[in-house]
Amino acid sequence: MPDPSQAPADPGTAVDESRLEELITEAQIVLPVDLSALANRCALALGLNTALIYLVDLQQWLLIPLDESLEPLPVDASQAGWAYRTVSPRVTDDRDGVVVWAPLVDGAERLGVLAVRTATLDGSRMRRSRMLADLLAMVVTSKRAYSDWIAARTRTATMRLPAEMLRAFLPPRTIGSTQCVSTAVLEPAYDVGGDAFDHAVVKHVLHTMILDAMGHDLASGLTTSVAMAGARNARRSGADLPDLVGSVDRALAQWLPDHFCTGVVCRLDADTGELRWINCGHPPPLLIRAERVLDGALDSPPQPPIGLHSELEPAARQVHETTLELGDRVLLYTDGVVDARDANGVEFGLDRFTDFIIRASAVGQRPAEVLRLLIHAILDYQQNDLRDDATILLFEWHPQYP
């Protein structure tokens, strides 16, 4: 099918600009439960028929409609899922016309898809469908920050208290720009204990962190929550890596003196590719370049876990440095990823882990989709019953995505 966005516009396609302006203003105060009705009104103002918002569930298996009368769609076996997986619009025939499945993306984060129905499709209507998806993605992002209804709507199971507490601290799954992107996944989604990830952009610098607290209970989640809060507090005060990790060491020593966690904290200059990191008793990061793992490229001498440094090694933390090449990917992970075992007790293993990422990347999958597929493969390998938390964070320098 030719790309409808390149077709000439229908001169009879009218836009009610004053009505559209009213709706954009309304979007600022609309209740999250009324987003479906707002989406339809916006579609009409743009000369389209209807628009329906689907949001991806917590584990990225399903696309769940905000209209509670409708059924979810599978991410891996639907046209809507194709649009979500590839971050590209998909057009399908409908008995009353056509449906444009437009990805809902906020920055680099995939939120779901927008189903836009229209009697006919030309370049103008295609562009308006995409524009409406972009607008509604920003609206959804602003609403879900305080909407328990949206959070509940995108869950498929009951969440335990430790997971509820920890997830309140987690950043969006994916962040980034045209210079770099960072994405992460964490399982078990509803029963996570001591694993966590964090990433943030400060001007041209990407900050990433992965943590693994000992245990699998509320205290473990509290340990990583305090560690994340300490790191963010230091980062927002302008602290460099040694001071940042030192702040977390002191925070745990002060507030949770009997608890500690392993972790890796990274700082990537997105202008130059300079990567600096500190490894605190954690599995070393992996560097993937030109579709292969560079063995030992990011290894470093062991340092004490976070929270034990002042007791075991009072000297300053050691910072390690390297310079990435364009397209390099760096992997941070917790041991629950490679330690996952099948029914026969065989580990998933580091080789299987890295081979999966390299193969998925080689066929053009973007980082967020690579990790979605990988975490599902790990869950399948262990019959959806992880014995330990499994967390993966992947960042890439200079992706230059459209």
pLDDT for the residue numbered 174: 97
pLDDT, one tens digit per residue, over 344-397 is 889 899 999 999 999 998 888 999 999 999 999 999 998 877 778 899 999 999
pLDDT for the residue numbered 309: 63
Average pLDDT over residues 227-234: 96
Q: What does R_g of the chain's alpha carbons equal in angstroms?
A: 22
Q: How confident is the model at residue 102 (pLDDT cuts 50, 70, 90)?
A: very high
Average pLDDT over residues 163-191: 92
Q: Is the pTM of this model over 0.85?
A: yes
Q: How confident is the model at residue 142 (pLDDT cuts 50, 70, 90)?
A: very high
pLDDT for the residue numbered 11: 41
Looking at per-residue confidence, does 184 or 47 come out higher?
A: 184
Q: How confident is the model at residue 5 (pLDDT cuts 50, 70, 90)?
A: very low
pLDDT for the residue numbered 401: 57
Q: How high does pLDDT run on average in the chain?
A: 90
Average pLDDT over residues 121-150: 94
Q: Rounded to whole angstroms, how far apart are CA atoms 304 and 299? A: 15
Quick check: 182 and 153 in contact, CB under 8 A? no
Average pLDDT over residues 85-95: 93
CB atoms within 10 A of CB 360: 19
pLDDT for the residue numbered 214: 79
Residue 35 predicted with pLDDT over 90: yes
Quick check: 178 and 399 in contact, CB under 8 A? yes
Q: Rounded to whole angstroms, how far apart are CA atoms 37 and 54? A: 13
Residue 8 predicted with pLDDT over 50: no
Q: How confident is the model at residue 2 (pLDDT cuts 50, 70, 90)?
A: very low
Which residues, 6 or more positions from 144, have their beta carbon under 8 angstroms from its beta carbon? 32, 150, 151
Average pLDDT over residues 154-162: 93
- Phi and psi torsions of 17, nearest 5°: -65, -40
Residue 13 predicted with pLDDT over 70: no
Q: In angstroms, what CA-CA distances link 182 with 123, 152, 174, 397?
A: 33, 26, 6, 9
Task: For residue 386, give the nearest of 398, 395, 378 by alpha carbon.
Answer: 378
